[in-house]
Structure 1
Amino acid sequence: MEVDMIFKIAAIGIIVAVLNQLLIRSGREEQALLTTIMGLIVALMMIISQISTLFDTIKSVFGL
């Protein structure tokens, strides 16, 4: 896994946390929840390609 990917995921986490706190303090709990869910989905979409690469490497190592 590249270091850039870790920094990108950390940045998404920080941005989502700040937005979450701002929305909760302004009384918009529903939007805060949706923001958190969307941040999780974006991070997972970034990781899916890395997981696919991992499975391809495992298949080639074990000859499956």
Structure 2
Amino acid sequence: MDVDMIFKIAAIGIIVAILNQLLVRSGREEQALLTTIAGLVVALMMIISQISELFTTVKNTFGL
């Protein structure tokens, strides 16, 4: 995994945390929850390709 990917995921986390706090303090808890879920989905979509590559490497290593 590249260090660049880690920084991207960290940036998404920071942005989502800031948006979440702003929305909660303005009384929009539902939108804060949706923002958090959207940030999680975006981060997971970025990681899916890395997980697929990991499974392929393990499969090739053990000859499965």
Q: Say how many residue pairs are matched.
A: 64
Q: Percent identity?
A: 84
**1:45 to partner: Cα distance:** 0.4
Large movers: runs of 4+ above 3 Å: none
Residue type at the aligned position of 1:25: R
Note the residue ranges of structure 2 that are not aligned, 5 or more in a row: none
* TM-score, with structure 1 as normaliser: 0.99
Quote the RMSD (CA, aligned, Å): 0.3
Equivalent-residue separation in structure 1 for 2:58 and 2:24 (angstroms)? 43
TM-score (norm 2): 0.99
Matched, 1:40 2:46: no
Residue in structure 1 matched with residue 6 of structure 2 by the alignment: 6
The aligned counterpart of 2:60 is 60
Please state whether the residue corresponding to 1:10 is helix, strand or coil: helix
Give unmatched runs, 5+ long, in structure 1.
none
Paired position in structure 2 for 1:30: 30
